[in-house]
Chain A
């Protein structure tokens, strides 16, 4: 019986000197229809040189989280609470001026659609130089040299000449490479990649991921990779945060999530992932129902309207009591009322054979 097992709350960061530590982050947007709780009590840590994957459906709060780390909600109507520690900087309470200094310099971001994320009226090179010159007091020609070097590094052929091209003259994959060059130009220690491969075709996706991984090794930076593609996570990440309805429902090492998942939502995600090694006649198993409204979040467990396993929990705990994110093994946190032993049994007996 693991009822006696030590269950340490993952909400409390006990590790000292963590590189990035997000603690009980809440991002709420007041709207005419009510308060949208886009992120509601999210905590995770990230060490230098690690890649953390944040997975979840659209609207689960992935992008809002990443933009909160960069402080891009400042100046909007978003209500943000909790703490974000980057080394010894606290970011939630930081002023816009402090954040501006950190953005692009200590932490950088690449976005989903590289075409709309680049300014259509400025050359690719000048946009990279601009990013370099905000944080480094260098001449235009020095910035140009540095930018060409970066473009070369991310694999743009003939970089010195392509420097003067406009974004529309680049292909999709090249644009994303240019975005990566722009993000890394000032050597940030944290890179947030918000669905960096979603807008690209599959062959280019693999190249971009490979590029990110090799650059990460070279620069020793930490990466947060936001995606809804579990294949990408399996290939790239060290740790995973599974988000649902603005909360972390399961977190752990990538092996924990893929080989020993314990949260029914994670099972659902794995079940809806196409796999080559599965028999063809088996259908993908979608997760029934819709993602929750972030205005009227379900009472109890956020996942309860779509969860097939809530009848196996004694009483109606799933519908009345919000489960805590508890460690089932050290470093593997699960937010579920099912008994840990039952979860493991369900996974090995019912879920795993169908994956």
Chain B
């Protein structure tokens, strides 16, 4: 087990290095494709004189080979760096993911402000969809063809088909503008005002969970159907176990194991990618930060959020791998 975890951990570190490298190189290549000095994407303006541009490019290290530039970037993350757009010079302390001159803030503090919002959104929604999806899927899978199954699966089909930019505004329209159950649901940190935090997030949770719950319901149903046809379920019944033990201890345990994997990866993917939900509900999370970065062609922000999203996914994957070994004794055995 320990060896398995160490192996996974080393794998995760390798993936992180590879991901950060590929992302960095891609974003260094992009300006060249646009025939524009990379300086523009870092500071938002091009110095009028060619000499000034040259000096700035030199200061950012754009005249160095790509591997030196990558090294520069990595060193910044661990040791911090000093950045300048020619007029102002700032020190960006470790962990420095770059500096946005247009927002006048280091990327890491931008991310640090946005991360709690994104985390709250992803974690809250995931709990909702996990409980809802697994519940509907289990009941449907145990009684295939029943009224509940048909209704549930039709509902699931509808839910997967409806995009968040439809369900989101619909929820807002009904609960905020018509019923007026939620007035002014502006985001507040969970530590500052838990009630306000909950009020600001309940609709985005529901909108996001609605979509994912549908996927999980279908997945759970399929797994449950498969599992209940397994030989070991027949054995459990042949032992004379009561039905609920057969279903929950033997059936659900096996049916839910693959869902653990998918859940972890979905949750990891969601951090930094809930762009539409954050836009619809005006939540200043990573998704909205990313959009801001893209709109103003602010490369450090895009790079920072992308790398963070990748880190979130890799970490989620790692946790899932370890969890899977705990849940399924066959995994760590070799």
Chain A residues with a Cβ under 8 A of chain B: 67, 70, 72, 96, 100-105, 108-109, 111, 113, 116-121, 130-131, 134-135, 166, 168-169, 179, 182
Residues B239 and A119 in contact, CB atoms below 8 Å apart? no
From B49-57, B192-200, B226-234, B272-280, give the one contacting chain A. B226-234
- A264: shortest Cβ distance to chain B, in Å? 34
Residues A121 and B239 in contact, CB atoms below 8 Å apart? no
Given contacts A116-B230, A120-B254, contact A104 B333 (CB under 8 A): no
Query: What is the CA–CA distance of A168 and B333 in the complex, to the nearest angstrom?
Result: 9
Contacting residue for B235 out of A101, A119, A135, A168, CB 8 A: A119
Residues B240 and A105 in contact, CB atoms below 8 Å apart? yes
Question: Which B residue sits closest to A131, measured CB to CB?
Answer: B239
Given contacts A100-B242, A166-B329, A168-B330, contact A120 B237 (CB under 8 A): no
For A119, the chain B residues whose CB sits under 8 A away are: 232, 235-236, 250, 253-254
For A131, the chain B residues whose CB sits under 8 A away are: 239-240
Question: Which B residue sits closest to A97, measured CB to CB?
Answer: B242
For A121, the chain B residues whose CB sits under 8 A away are: 253-254, 257, 327-329
- B107: shortest Cβ distance to chain A, in Å? 44
Residues B232 and A120 in contact, CB atoms below 8 Å apart? yes
Q: Is B241 an interface residue (CB 8 A)?
A: yes
Question: Which B residue sits closest to A99, measured CB to CB?
Answer: B240
Residues A116 and B231 in contact, CB atoms below 8 Å apart? yes
Residues A108 and B238 in contact, CB atoms below 8 Å apart? yes
Residues B239 and A169 in contact, CB atoms below 8 Å apart? no
Query: What is the CA–CA distance of A100 and B327 in the complex, to the nearest angstrom?
Result: 29
Contacting residue for A100 out of B240, B254, B329, B330, CB 8 A: B240
Residues A120 and B330 in contact, CB atoms below 8 Å apart? yes
Query: What is the CA–CA distance of A166 and B235 in the complex, to the nearest angstrom?
Result: 16
Residues A109 and B238 in contact, CB atoms below 8 Å apart? yes
For B250, the chain A residues whose CB sits under 8 A away are: 119
Can you name 18 A-B pairs with beta carbons within 8 Å? Answer: A70-B238, A96-B243, A100-B242, A108-B238, A109-B238, A111-B231, A111-B235, A111-B238, A117-B232, A118-B232, A118-B235, A119-B235, A119-B250, A120-B328, A121-B327, A121-B328, A131-B239, A168-B330
Query: What is the CA–CA distance of A101 and B237 in the complex, to the nearest angstrom?
Result: 11
Query: What is the CA–CA distance of A119 and B241 in the complex, to the nearest angstrom?
Result: 14
Contact with A along B143-158 (1 / 0, CB 8 A): 0000000000000000
Query: What is the CA–CA distance of A96 and B242 in the complex, to the nearest angstrom?
Result: 10
Looking at chain B's contact residues, the main secondary structure is helix
A-facing residues in B114-135 (Cβ within 8 Å): none
For B231, the chain A residues whose CB sits under 8 A away are: 111, 113, 116-117
Query: What is the CA–CA distance of A119 and B330 in the complex, to the nearest angstrom?
Result: 11
Query: What is the CA–CA distance of A179 and B231 in the complex, to the nearest angstrom?
Result: 12
- B138: shortest Cβ distance to chain A, in Å? 17
Residues A103 and B234 in contact, CB atoms below 8 Å apart? no
For B237, the chain A residues whose CB sits under 8 A away are: 72, 103
Residues B238 and A104 in contact, CB atoms below 8 Å apart? yes
For B230, the chain A residues whose CB sits under 8 A away are: 116
Question: Which A residue sits closest to B230, measured CB to CB?
Answer: A116
For A135, the chain B residues whose CB sits under 8 A away are: 240
**A111-B234, A117-B232, A119-B254 known; 10 other A-B pairs, CB under 8 Å?**
A72-B237, A116-B231, A117-B235, A118-B232, A119-B253, A120-B254, A121-B253, A134-B239, A182-B235, A182-B239
For B253, the chain A residues whose CB sits under 8 A away are: 119, 121
Residues B254 and A101 in contact, CB atoms below 8 Å apart? no
Query: What is the CA–CA distance of A221 and B237 in the complex, to the nearest angstrom?
Result: 21
Contacting residue for A130 out of B241, B327, B333, CB 8 A: B241
For A118, the chain B residues whose CB sits under 8 A away are: 232, 235
Query: What is the CA–CA distance of A120 and B242 in the complex, to the nearest angstrom?
Result: 20
Residues A130 and B232 in contact, CB atoms below 8 Å apart? no
- A93: shortest Cβ distance to chain B, in Å? 18
Residues B234 and A72 in contact, CB atoms below 8 Å apart? yes
For B238, the chain A residues whose CB sits under 8 A away are: 70, 72, 103-104, 108-109, 111
Given contacts A111-B234, A119-B250, contact A104 B239 (CB under 8 A): yes
Query: What is the CA–CA distance of A101 and B239 in the complex, to the nearest angstrom?
Result: 9
For B330, the chain A residues whose CB sits under 8 A away are: 120, 166, 168
- A108: shortest Cβ distance to chain B, in Å? 7
Query: What is the CA–CA distance of A134 and B243 in the complex, to the nearest angstrom?
Result: 12
- A111: shortest Cβ distance to chain B, in Å? 6
Query: What is the CA–CA distance of A166 and B330 in the complex, to the nearest angstrom?
Result: 8
A-facing residues in B309-334 (Cβ within 8 Å): 327-330, 333
